[in-house]
Structure 1
Amino acid sequence: MDVNRALSQQAMPPSVKNHRPLASSAQSFLTHLNLPHHPTHSGIDIEELSFVGPGVFELPRGNSKNSHSSTPHSNASFHEPPPPIGPISLLELHDDSYVELARTACTMTAPTLAMMELWLRLFALLVGPLCVVCLVTREIARLGGDHASGGDRSVRRADAIMIMAILAVASSAVLFTDSLYVYEYGRSFGCCLFVASSVLATRLAREFQQAADGSVRCDKNHKRRMKQRANCFSALVWGLLFTTMIVFLRSDGGHMINLALEKVPTISILSGVASTATTAMKRHDNNPLTVISDPGIDLPTIEPGFYHSSNPLIQSIAKHWPESSRSYNVSNGATPYLVNGDQRTGIPFLVNKVEEQEYVRVYVQNPFDKEYLALDIAFPFQITREKGKEWTKTIYKIHDPLYITSINQFILSYMDSTVDLTKNMSKTLYLVVDPRAAPSLGMMDTTMIGWNVFHGARTGDVDIAARAVKRGLVEMAREMGVRTPILAGVGYSMGAIILSNYVARSGSHCALDSAIAISGGLDMRQQLNFKRSMRLWQPMLTFGLREDILLGKYARHYKHRLTKEQFRSMLRVTSISHLDVEAIVNYNSFDDLVHYYSEMSAMGDRDPEFQLFDDKNEGTCNTDKDGFWGRIANVSIPFVVLQALDDPLVGWRTIGTANAQGLAESGSGNIILLLTKAGGHVGWPVGTNPKKEGWKWMNDAARDFVLAVAAANQDLCMKKRSKENIVDR
């Protein structure tokens, strides 16, 4: 296969074609960047990050387990010519088997069910009290003797009342047992509402039963239908009550129920047998998702706040960082009627819209696997000043998020809003989107020449792209006679995870000057028991990823590399975590999911906290122990971890430790933790109309942090010059 010809013939997506002439400084920057506009070798020697291993963990090395034995093709298959990239028919995916295709189609109901449950949870706070008020009003009317107005004789009205009662019980049960609502309001509010709705619903069920039994004017068929409705309604009510109580009793992870059952002799014997069987299963099952228990209701034990060390640079950054862009609450503009993490996550992505951004695309090559990485750069075309005044102090390098709606729109919204905000400051903002660190973009629609599709532990692409941009900045600043601009990394969701891992692994060799990880995670092993995310949010994410990326582009790669059973399991997964097992782990020959998440995480080389594997290290931190913090202590640049504790996708435990201040002071003290009580996942909506403001708070936080870094660096330089002048005198 002629690789260069295949690469040169690929079409550039319309969104990355610039239709207007560039400003002089933009053109100068591209000239000094010296990267080709087509995927051909530029002649620039790119330094490989060899100090942390070949290719920065581009592919797993030396497996300690038998992961190869479960895979039909060894790593030698990566030396074969790769299959073509593109969509494949559903029937071909299932080896022309209609039966297997039907089985896969049945699993597609999971995203639908998850969406229905999620909508209930989104509006439970509105639906629950409203339905209870309506039922109470009806009861008052009946007690006053207004039986006719009760509407029980009308079948349609009776059905509406039944539905209202079911919604009242279901919504109040959510308010009583859901971790996000309990985190916001505590147990008392939900408990009172649940008791009230339960009493009203059971009274209503008994009333309908009596009405059906006492109906003598109706014919037999109508009476039978009334009886069936009443029985169905009673079963639903009691089923909801029983399920809610079980969920409530299991809020501690089931420990109280297990202790109670152990006191019953017969059940205790059966429990012992089940425990033995479970232990045997854990020894043979290498999928932690099936053996790690659910922690129950998962309330954060970390206090929200702004954690930083006494490092002079970090203290100066904190001083220059406006409090308004690092404090998220109603008094600071947070949307008051969005009351939990689900709403603060979902609503902005439903209502926010942005215009399409124009890009200039250039390419850089990864020397490890010779893949060409597409870098899309957005210039503010509306600024036409001379290059001396147009040049910026900061350049953002953005890693895309993994999210539900159009990922392009989300990244573009960040670009548009930050350009608008910085335009008034007479500064130009360049935004660079990274390639294979962006799985949800489908590797930027670039053509691959090998087998190395996405996995989250790859940090080599980040380094290659960052060093290429940094080189261009240095050359241009030298020509202009100005200080080299700050190159700042901004990562969202999956991009934040990869960015954090890169900053930790690269240490003092990091090519960035500062970085901020938004809604990512420092220890993704803590996602292994985040069952709520797997049940509610991940099915929708999984559906989109599987259709657009795994099947729409690289299905033939996975089909060739995986066994038939593994490939079909990949087609039927319903969560990101299970997709990581069936696709990422098996395809790339990681030992298991724990191995993959450990390599992907900035704090993955530490013993996990919060008793993840039933260890006795619950939230205890001994920072005096040498090497306790692992590679996260190697961070050498100002690095911010921005995370909301009500994040419904990436759990609060992924912060990695209960000792937030200890983490901030680890190593040289370059880590800043900005933990907000509210905000959701890549959300933080503001204003009474979130659509108007977009993602303003999150954008302001990233912008103001980088500007604070620039101001802090300037302060340190001035202090240094003052000391030198004093010494000279």
Structure 2
Amino acid sequence: MTSVQEKLLEHLRTCSKGAPPADKREKSLPQELVSWSQRVDMLLPLVLAAWRCKLLRDAAAMMVGLGLVIAGGFGRPLHSIVGLLFLAIGIRGLPGGAPFLEVKTEAGFYAARHGRYGTRNEHICKAFEGWLSTHVPCPWQRSGELCTVLPYLLNQKRSSDLPYERCWLEAEDGERFAFDWVFPPTGFDPQRPVLVLLTGLAPNQHWTAAAGFIADAAWHFTHRANMTVVVLVARGTMDTQVNKNLFHGARVTDLRQMLEFTHSSLEKFSGIKPKIFAAGYSMGAIILANYCGHYDKDPLIAGGIHFSGLHDAAFNMNFKYSEETWQAYLAYNLKWTIAVSAQEEVGFIVQACAMVLKRGDMN
């Protein structure tokens, strides 16, 4: 296994195009992103989004209640009564804020039970249902927002020292994009599947530093499943730079080019047909689904799964809670990342991003 990995590493380093040359020209952000008044205007949608967020509203009510109860312990019984009222409201849910979208589809596993893939789908559904029957959800972590936020705060960041090999390819439009190979501690095993991970709206930080779902998945599959992992890096994120053609979620050619390279490289050095699977998170899940629609005749992957990817983006526009709360943060971070990572060739896009940063929406 080690010898195969060494040959594969040498191949990756030989074929890598390297990071794009840095533009040494002086770059400056437009005035819209520099002045303090404009920055305050940009932050206002985030403040409003935070106030509409159920998690933050309930937490604020409970914190106020807890403070009043503590104050009541110093001879102020009225404070204790009001504090208990605030605690009850926080636990029950503070009224107001953005409404949740009414759920009309019953939770479950949906697939064609007949036809060409009926037997396979039936097996997958029964496997998931069997696992779910043994799953005991956390009794106090009932909010979806809490389930998303707390892992970032409480989980151990196991990926900070995870070694990886970055490889660069040059796309048809001239931009170079990166993908990171992560090998298991025991070495590359040709008999084990290879997992391709697609990130969501990623930050400027590398995935080992930012932690989160991608980093945790890379650690788990390499250390627990003895599988090799390849992380596709979205253009302009995770220590990468773009010169002209920025990231957008409808582009599937980067994934295709990376899979072609990965497939041929694994086949060359393992001597067997590689088993490649893919998993996408959020925006990465949308790209993966779009990729499967484009390359369904020859996908180069044996299977794929997506987490939190939209099935109907147009219908999701009716989800006002999403639009008015956490999407404001996603939009702000995405537009800011594009603005500060873009070169002068896309200055008009930078200025456009600066103008819509104030709006705080994803349209």
TM range (shorter): 0.7 to 0.9
Counterpart of 2:355 in structure 1: which amino acid?
S
| Change in CA separation of 1:393 and 1:417 when aligned onto 2, cut-off 3 Å | closer
Displacement of 1:398 = 0.9
Question: SS state of the match for residue 337, structure 1?
Answer: coil
| Change in CA separation of 1:574 and 1:163 when aligned onto 2, cut-off 3 Å | farther
Contact 2:100 2:320 in 1 (8 A): no
Give the match for residue 366 of structure 1: 171
Counterpart of 1:393 in structure 2: which amino acid?
R
Displacement of 1:160 = 5.7
In structure 2, how many angstroms separate the alpha carbons of the residues matched to 1:38 and 1:373?
A: 9
| 2:32 pairs with 1:94 | yes
| 2:18 pairs with 1:39 | yes
Give the match for residue 560 of structure 1: 348
Give the match for residue 119 of structure 2: 315
| 2:192 pairs with 1:398 | no
Give the match for residue 448 of structure 1: 242
Question: SS state of the match for residue 201, structure 2?
Answer: coil
Counterpart of 1:468 in structure 2: which amino acid?
F
In structure 2, how many angstroms separate the alpha carbons of the residues matched to 1:301 and 1:95?
A: 42
In structure 2, how many angstroms separate the alpha carbons of the residues matched to 1:123 and 1:490?
A: 33
Residues 236-285 of structure 1 show CA distances to partners (whole Å, capped at 9, x for unaligned) of: xxxxxxxx5xx8xxxxxxxxxxxxxxxxxxxxxxxxxxxxxxxxxxxxxx
In structure 2, how many angstroms separate the alpha carbons of the residues matched to 1:503 and 1:332?
A: 30
Counterpart of 2:135 in structure 1: which amino acid?
N
Residues 561-580 of structure 1 show CA distances to partners (whole Å, capped at 9, x for unaligned) of: 46x6x4442232323x1xxx
Residues 46-95 of structure 1 show CA distances to partners (whole Å, capped at 9, x for unaligned) of: xxxxxxxxxxxxxxxxxxxxxxxxxxxxxxxxxxxx98799746xx4338
Contact 2:196 2:229 in 1 (8 A): yes
| 2:287 pairs with 1:498 | yes
Question: SS state of the match for residue 186, structure 2?
Answer: coil
Question: SS state of the match for residue 298, structure 1?
Answer: coil
Give the match for residue 472 of structure 1: 265
Counterpart of 2:356 in structure 1: which amino acid?
M
In structure 1, how many angstroms separate the alpha carbons of the residues matched to 2:105 and 2:174?
A: 44
| 2:221 pairs with 1:418 | yes
Question: SS state of the match for residue 316, structure 2?
Answer: helix
Question: Percent same amino acid at aligned positions?
Answer: 21
Give the match for residue 25 of structure 1: 4
Give 2:331's match in structure 1, choosing from 542, 551, 564: 542
Give 1:486's match in structure 2, choosing from 259, 267, 275: 275
Contact 2:190 2:270 in 1 (8 A): no
In structure 2, how many angstroms separate the alpha carbons of the residues matched to 1:470 and 1:28?
A: 15
Displacement of 1:23 = 2.5
In structure 2, how many angstroms separate the alpha carbons of the residues matched to 1:38 and 1:104?
A: 38
Contact 2:286 2:310 in 1 (8 A): yes
Give the match for residue 172 of structure 1: 92
Displacement of 1:501 = 0.5
Displacement of 1:375 = 1.8
In structure 2, how many angstroms separate the alpha carbons of the residues matched to 1:328 and 1:85?
A: 56
Give the match for residue 431 of structure 1: 229
In structure 2, how many angstroms separate the alpha carbons of the residues matched to 1:166 and 1:532?
A: 23
| Change in CA separation of 1:37 and 1:499 when aligned onto 2, cut-off 3 Å | same
Contact 2:204 2:239 in 1 (8 A): no
Question: SS state of the match for residue 509, structure 1?
Answer: coil
Contact 1:394 1:485 in 2 (8 A): yes
Give the match for residue 338 of structure 1: 141
Give 2:158's match in structure 1, choosing from 354, 358, 361: 354
Contact 1:33 1:471 in 2 (8 A): no
Give the match for residue 289 of structure 1: none
Residues 277-333 of structure 1 show CA distances to partners (whole Å, capped at 9, x for unaligned) of: xxxxxxxxxxxxxxxxx9x5422211222222234556246537883687446x414
In structure 2, how many angstroms separate the alpha carbons of the residues matched to 1:405 and 1:371?
A: 18
Contact 2:285 2:306 in 1 (8 A): yes
Q: Bigger radius of gyration, 1 or 2? A: 1
5+ residue gaps, structure 2: none
In structure 1, how many angstroms separate the alpha carbons of the residues matched to 2:206 and 2:18?
A: 23
Contact 2:204 2:238 in 1 (8 A): no
Counterpart of 2:159 in structure 1: which amino acid?
E
Counting helix residues as a fraction of each chain, which structure ranks higher? Answer: 1
| Change in CA separation of 1:299 and 1:475 when aligned onto 2, cut-off 3 Å | same
| 2:46 pairs with 1:111 | yes
Displacement of 1:486 = 1.1
In structure 2, how many angstroms separate the alpha carbons of the residues matched to 1:417 and 1:170?
A: 36
Displacement of 1:370 = 1.8
| Change in CA separation of 1:531 and 1:327 when aligned onto 2, cut-off 3 Å | farther
Contact 1:32 1:473 in 2 (8 A): no
Residues 447-473 of structure 1 show CA distances to partners (whole Å, capped at 9, x for unaligned) of: 434x21011111111111111111112
Displacement of 1:108 = 1.0
Counting only pairs closer than 5 Å after superposition, residues 230-241 of structure 1 correspond to structure 2 as: none
In structure 1, how many angstroms separate the alpha carbons of the residues matched to 2:47 and 2:332?
A: 10
Displacement of 1:340 = 2.3
In structure 2, how many angstroms separate the alpha carbons of the residues matched to 1:39 and 1:421?
A: 31
Counting only pairs closer than 5 Å after superposition, residues 262-301 of structure 1 correspond to structure 2 as: 297-301=100-104
TM-score scaled by structure 2? 0.79
| Change in CA separation of 1:315 and 1:537 when aligned onto 2, cut-off 3 Å | same
Question: SS state of the match for residue 306, structure 1?
Answer: coil
| Change in CA separation of 1:106 and 1:161 when aligned onto 2, cut-off 3 Å | farther
How many matched pairs? 352
Counterpart of 1:420 in structure 2: which amino acid?
H
Counterpart of 1:172 in structure 2: which amino acid?
R
TM-score scaled by structure 1? 0.42
Contact 2:4 2:269 in 1 (8 A): no
Counterpart of 1:414 in structure 2: which amino acid?
A
Counterpart of 1:550 in structure 2: which amino acid?
I
Contact 1:496 1:520 in 2 (8 A): yes
Contact 1:401 1:407 in 2 (8 A): no
In structure 2, how many angstroms separate the alpha carbons of the residues matched to 1:557 and 1:571?
A: 20
Question: SS state of the match for residue 472, structure 1?
Answer: helix
In structure 2, how many angstroms separate the alpha carbons of the residues matched to 1:327 and 1:474?
A: 34
Give the match for residue 280 of structure 1: none
Counterpart of 1:445 in structure 2: which amino acid?
D
In structure 2, how many angstroms separate the alpha carbons of the residues matched to 1:39 and 1:131?
A: 56
